[in-house]
Structure 1
Amino acid sequence: MPEPMDRLETRCLTSLEKVFPDEELQAGSVTRGSMLRGEVYAFQVAYRTQQLKKNISVSVDSALPGRITLRSVGLAPSELPCQRGHDENVLRTTPGLYPDPLFPIDAQEGVTGTHYQWRSVWVTVEVDDDAEAGLYPITVRFADKMGEPLAEECFELQVMDAALPDQTLIHTEWFHCDCLAHYYGVEVFSEAHWQLMERYVETAVRHGINMILTPLFTPPLDTQEGGERLTVQLVDVKKEGAAYRFDFTRLGRWIDMGQRAGIRYFEFSHLFTQWGAKHAPKIMAEEEGEYRRIFGWDTDATGEAYKSFLGQFLPALVAYLREQKVEKRSYFHISDEPFLEHMPWYRSASELMQAHLGDFPIIDALTNYEYYEQGLVKRPIPTNDHVELFLERGVPELWTYYACVQYRKVSNRFFHMPSARNRIIGIQLYKFQIAGFLHWGYNFWNSQYSLKPIDPYRVTDAGRSFPSGDAFLVYPGEDGFPVESIRMEVFFEALQDMRALQLLESLIGREQVVAMIDEGLPEALTFSQYPKDAQWLLEFRESVNTAIQSHLPRQA
């Protein structure tokens, strides 16, 4: 007997599956999981129809004391999904449509079933710290526009009697103010721009981002040599002969905005150009009534003019940070990703910065251990495919990062990679006691070198320059709110895994937790050696939750 043409087929899936419209769904049904109080848990309900069917309503029913959000998993195009010479831990390597943006579901429009295509609904469950422990059924229902039931799936979520501890990891995803101004067509630092920035910062904070890149001057990042990015300068400068005066009013508003949203740490934009520290960033100033650029690509970073500027600026900035009581939560950058051949310029910049900044931490993303060995940077941030050398040599308070060239063996979050490869980093960060994680692309909606703005719904690879998924975590929403991504949600799950392991450590000790991580593995877990399948990761997290529950102090 033929199946009815209006039939809706559904299946419950974990958050680590990526549902492609042009392939058969291989993953089996998963209908149970567990979470700690204060955690965010996610699963998916995949669906497909026999024929095109619009206005399918999706609703949820549960007695769980928390907030349940339903979103539709959208598709994003990728012309450059992967690097050449990639490893085998990928889902596919072809250009096409990839599941990534998470769109709110309009109550009137619902979702659309497209014949023979699997799509999915992303279900997010947020439970407060004081929620009552127990097993809670969550029913997701689909109905047609007349309200007639089409299908339903039930997921059982166990809330454990323990709360997730606060995040200790410092986490930054670089925030690009100019991209917001470009996309939404607003004037930089207008009231509309401030409103947009605060919304995007709030979303970042909800996903474990507690440090923000702060543009003292327009950040000299991803800019073509000799080119310029849109001016986003928080500090007003007035030049009077050889002297400078500084107005920190906008910087104060930025700090207030960040702290109101939940930002704890402020990293100040690089004071020397990327890939070499040879020049100054673009710095605008008022001089004799004219507002113009006084430093930039034509500035010799080792010259007396720029040294004199920094000699006046840095002491004034330090005094202001102390006045604002954020000096213990302030971090500085010299130059992003210097190579070994850039050491003479970096050395000069480092000596100048250290002379004025004293004990303020200076952090920079770099690969060569020599920079740390020679004392040029005390807080190096090596990539996760080079971090093990720094670990072996005992570098304290070590951070790590990844970007477009970390695509062999190590964790990353490109479109074409399985979500388990994204999430595994949480366990790695815990095991190796990493103090901070940096990534360059929260909302970089430009082409490579910032030659032009792009539409991130059409161009996801910075103009066929970086694999899709590298340049940004959020998409611009029509209402001025960010549209989050699968990659962002899964990375936050990784951070929650790390926090759960820290909680377990407080109950049974670090040695036992590390042994638990490595138990049964052919080799001890490292940044380049780890289980590749999602099932191991999910089962491990369930075992962590069970161990936490069993070792909680008994109530009298």
Structure 2
Amino acid sequence: MENRNEIKLETRCVSSLAKIFAEDTELLEPAYKKGSALWGEAYAFQVAFRSDRLLKHIQVQAKTALPNSSISVRSVGLAPSELPIYEDHDSRIFQSKPGLFPDPLFPVKADEGISALPNVWRSVWITVEVERADQGGTYPIEVRFTSAGGEAIGSETFELTVIPRELPEQKLIHTEWFHSDCIATYYNVPVFSEEHWDLLEAYIKTAVKHGINMLLTPLFTPPLDTAVGGERPTVQLVDVEKTGDRYAFGFDKLDRWADLCLAAGIRYFEFSHLYTQWGAKHAPKIMAAENGTHKRIFGWETEAAGEAYRSFLGQFVPELLKWVEKRGLQQKVYFHISDEPYMNTLENYRLASDFLRPMLKGYPVIDALSDFAFYESGLVPRPIPATNHIEPFLEAGVADLWTYYCCGQYKDVANRFFTFPSARNRIIGVQLHKFGITGFLHWGFNFWFSQYSRKAIDPFVTTDAGHAFPSGDAFLVYPGEEGPIESIRMEVFYEALQDMRAFALLEELGGKEELRTLMDGITFSSYPEESEWLLALRETVNQRIAAFTE
């Protein structure tokens, strides 16, 4: 007779590309119990678990014989989505209806542990930070589950092989737009107060840890996703004083921002757009001190090509470039004119570009756009086309080509929505490497507002920006009590970046032709769907690196 008092936990090691849904009655993901990693790599896998009853305060411990590596355990939480995908989606999704999706990665607190719900599959996320001091070889990683009463109720062992070669430095320039105002708003702290600076540092460090090496820098409040006539909270790093038609500029806060970013590991600064989104028709919101009053001097009411704003830019840009040169950042700054201009705004963009670019003295100007004809006009020598519009740019051999995706790239191409398999997230690393892409841009590191920034939202409740964008588009991190809570999507995208570094190492060692063969036939819209293919590709690359190392 079965003893109902006996606690039983069913467990299985699965890869980091698995998504474990609470409604899954059977776990279809195959067991994945071994893998390999290079020095400097963050290697992740999961342990799925299920019990026949409610169990609370389960303790989870992960131990490894690797002498120098650190190991962390996080609980894979569930996030709601009312809009997982648009109605005309393709077939490579989990579901189109609202539901709960595995995404946030919560640290496991010792005094709380984790819970097992009755007959519900969940998982924990295990990350091993492989250090250079670790010896090559295969090491067991044991994950143990202990009941609240101290009884061993389950365990799994994963074998990690360390290859004694270091991942080379990331070459891809990678920016995820960093919304400083969302941080101040969610945590209810004054903008650029000491509390805000502390939070900014925590979020910037998390960004850098995950391969983000360029940061959106709000010279003035970024004119992004803002309703016409509306405004976002002021996050302006440059102080402005207006006296008649003359301006004076203070860069103290910009200095502090630069110091913080450089110390955290940011390599490039992406200055916020100097004209409004979708066509450069107006000026961004700019605040200034005038006659003892701090007020808005430019905004939606300001014509971009008007004399007043041109006079301002004519005085500001030379002073900003002096600051850049003083800081020795000449090779580390990028400018924007207007995000996602359309062909019907070509003339507005031309006026802005013709006025601004001569003052920038050859500094790079990058803007997201999708119409190749816009590039052909010569106005954007460094275009950033979307992944589903990149083919003409590739065929034209555009130098130093960047790419991006956002909510509009939901058919055929890679993306990282909740409802997309993680393999559809990680495949971007293969694509970016194969086509020699210089930079990748995404707009949503932490956009915690509704569409057009009409109101603040709770990212743990609203994940689609108010029924605007498929869940997973607007942010990669959730706001924790003292800093960011990371997501499956963020970790998997970082795995794609680590893949790129491994590909670069194999090429450096002499495996370029072999790698080309392995990636044969892959485009931005055509690629293997299976997680197993990606995992096998990376293992093959690692084995070839190991062979060159022997």
Shorter chain as denominator, the TM-score bin is: over 0.9
User: Following TM superposition, by how much is the alpha carbon of 1:347 offset from its aligned partner in structure 2, in angstroms?
Assistant: 0.4
User: Following TM superposition, by how much is the alpha carbon of 1:145 offset from its aligned partner in structure 2, in angstroms?
Assistant: 1.3
The CA deviation string for residues 437-471 of structure 1, in whole angstroms up to 9 with x for no partner, is 00000000000000000000000000011000000
Answer yes or no: is 1:350 the counterpart of 2:353: yes
The CA deviation string for residues 486-517 of structure 1, in whole angstroms up to 9 with x for no partner, is 00000000000111000000112533321222
Contact 2:132 2:164 in 1 (8 A): no
Give the secondary structure class of the aligned counterpart of 1:385. helix
* Alignment of structure 1 residues 179-218 onto 2, 5 Å: 179-218=182-221
* Alignment of structure 1 residues 506-525 onto 2, 5 Å: 506-518=508-520, 524-525=521-522
User: Following TM superposition, by how much is the alpha carbon of 1:484 offset from its aligned partner in structure 2, in angstroms?
Assistant: 0.1
Q: 1: distance between equivalents of 2:373 and 2:355? A: 19
Of the three residues 398, 403, 409, the one matched with 1:400 is 403
Q: 2: distance between equivalents of 1:516 and 1:301? A: 49
State the match for 1:543 in structure 2: 540
Ranges in structure 1 where 5+ consecutive residues have no aligned partner: 519-523
State the match for 1:56 in structure 2: 58
* Alignment of structure 1 residues 171-320 onto 2, 5 Å: 171-320=174-323
User: Following TM superposition, by how much is the alpha carbon of 1:6 offset from its aligned partner in structure 2, in angstroms?
Assistant: 2.2
User: Following TM superposition, by how much is the alpha carbon of 1:371 offset from its aligned partner in structure 2, in angstroms?
Assistant: 2.4
Q: 2: distance between equivalents of 1:427 and 1:132? A: 28
Give the secondary structure class of the aligned counterpart of 1:277. coil
Q: 1: distance between equivalents of 2:313 and 2:466? A: 35
User: Following TM superposition, by how much is the alpha carbon of 1:132 offset from its aligned partner in structure 2, in angstroms?
Assistant: 1.0
Answer yes or no: is 1:494 the counterpart of 2:503: no
Of the three residues 442, 464, 475, the one matched with 1:472 is 475
User: Following TM superposition, by how much is the alpha carbon of 1:2 offset from its aligned partner in structure 2, in angstroms?
Assistant: 4.4
Give the secondary structure class of the aligned counterpart of 2:79. strand
Give the secondary structure class of the aligned counterpart of 2:253. helix
Of the three residues 530, 534, 544, the one matched with 1:533 is 530
Report the residue type matching 2:55 in the other structure: K
State the match for 2:160 in structure 1: 157
- Between stretches 483-492 and 382-391, larger displacement belongs to 382-391
State the match for 2:506 in structure 1: 504
State the match for 1:30 in structure 2: 32
State the match for 1:434 in structure 2: 437
Q: Paired residues, what number?
A: 547
Q: 2: distance between equivalents of 1:115 and 1:409? A: 37
Give the secondary structure class of the aligned counterpart of 1:400. strand
Q: 2: distance between equivalents of 1:117 and 1:146? A: 21
Of the three residues 382, 390, 404, the one matched with 1:379 is 382
Give the secondary structure class of the aligned counterpart of 1:328. coil
The CA deviation string for residues 319-367 of structure 1, in whole angstroms up to 9 with x for no partner, is 1110011121000000000111010000011111111001100000100
Answer yes or no: is 1:117 the counterpart of 2:120: yes
Q: 2: distance between equivalents of 1:139 and 1:510? A: 36
Q: 1: distance between equivalents of 2:28 and 2:60? A: 23
The CA deviation string for residues 134-157 of structure 1, in whole angstroms up to 9 with x for no partner, is 100000000111211001000000
User: Following TM superposition, by how much is the alpha carbon of 1:528 offset from its aligned partner in structure 2, in angstroms?
Assistant: 0.4
Runs of 4+ in 1 over 4 A off after TM superposition: 1-5
Q: 1: distance between equivalents of 2:145 and 2:419? A: 29
State the match for 1:170 in structure 2: 173
Quickly say closer, same or farther: Cα 1:160–1:142, change in 2 above 3 A: same
Answer yes or no: is 1:14 the counterpart of 2:15: yes
Give the secondary structure class of the aligned counterpart of 1:146. coil
Quickly say closer, same or farther: Cα 1:492–1:3, change in 2 above 3 A: farther
- Between stretches 24-33 and 445-454, larger displacement belongs to 24-33
Report the residue type matching 2:423 in the other structure: A
The CA deviation string for residues 385-414 of structure 1, in whole angstroms up to 9 with x for no partner, is 011110100100000000001010000000
The CA deviation string for residues 179-238 of structure 1, in whole angstroms up to 9 with x for no partner, is 000110100000000000000000000000000000000000000000000000000001
Report the residue type matching 2:208 in the other structure: V
- Between stretches 327-336 and 509-518, larger displacement belongs to 509-518
RMSD across aligned C-alpha pairs, in angstroms? 0.9
Q: 2: distance between equivalents of 1:378 and 1:371? A: 10
Q: 2: distance between equivalents of 1:472 and 1:129? A: 32
User: Following TM superposition, by how much is the alpha carbon of 1:60 offset from its aligned partner in structure 2, in angstroms?
Assistant: 1.3
User: Following TM superposition, by how much is the alpha carbon of 1:61 offset from its aligned partner in structure 2, in angstroms?
Assistant: 1.7
Alignment TM-score, normalising by the size of structure 1: 0.97
Quickly say closer, same or farther: Cα 1:3–1:496, change in 2 above 3 A: farther
Give the secondary structure class of the aligned counterpart of 2:387. coil
Q: 1: distance between equivalents of 2:185 and 2:301? A: 26
User: Following TM superposition, by how much is the alpha carbon of 1:129 offset from its aligned partner in structure 2, in angstroms?
Assistant: 2.4
State the match for 2:487 in structure 1: 485
Q: 1: distance between equivalents of 2:3 and 2:335? A: 63
Report the residue type matching 2:362 in the other structure: D
User: Following TM superposition, by how much is the alpha carbon of 1:375 offset from its aligned partner in structure 2, in angstroms?
Assistant: 1.5
State the match for 1:40 in structure 2: 42
User: Following TM superposition, by how much is the alpha carbon of 1:372 offset from its aligned partner in structure 2, in angstroms?
Assistant: 2.0
Contact 2:282 2:300 in 1 (8 A): yes
Contact 2:63 2:71 in 1 (8 A): no
State the match for 1:521 in structure 2: none
Alignment TM-score, normalising by the size of structure 2: 0.98
Give the secondary structure class of the aligned counterpart of 2:388. coil
State the match for 2:464 in structure 1: 461
User: Following TM superposition, by how much is the alpha carbon of 1:127 offset from its aligned partner in structure 2, in angstroms?
Assistant: 0.8
- Between stretches 146-155 and 505-514, larger displacement belongs to 505-514
% identical aligned pairs: 59
Answer yes or no: is 1:130 the counterpart of 2:111: no
The CA deviation string for residues 2-61 of structure 1, in whole angstroms up to 9 with x for no partner, is 474621110100000000011121112111001111101000000011011101110112
Report the residue type matching 1:231 in the other structure: T
Give the secondary structure class of the aligned counterpart of 1:208. coil
The CA deviation string for residues 513-532 of structure 1, in whole angstroms up to 9 with x for no partner, is 212222xxxxx100000000
Give the secondary structure class of the aligned counterpart of 2:171. coil
Contact 2:215 2:268 in 1 (8 A): yes
Give the secondary structure class of the aligned counterpart of 1:327. coil
Q: 2: distance between equivalents of 1:149 and 1:346? A: 65
Report the residue type matching 1:535 in the other structure: E
Contact 2:85 2:96 in 1 (8 A): yes
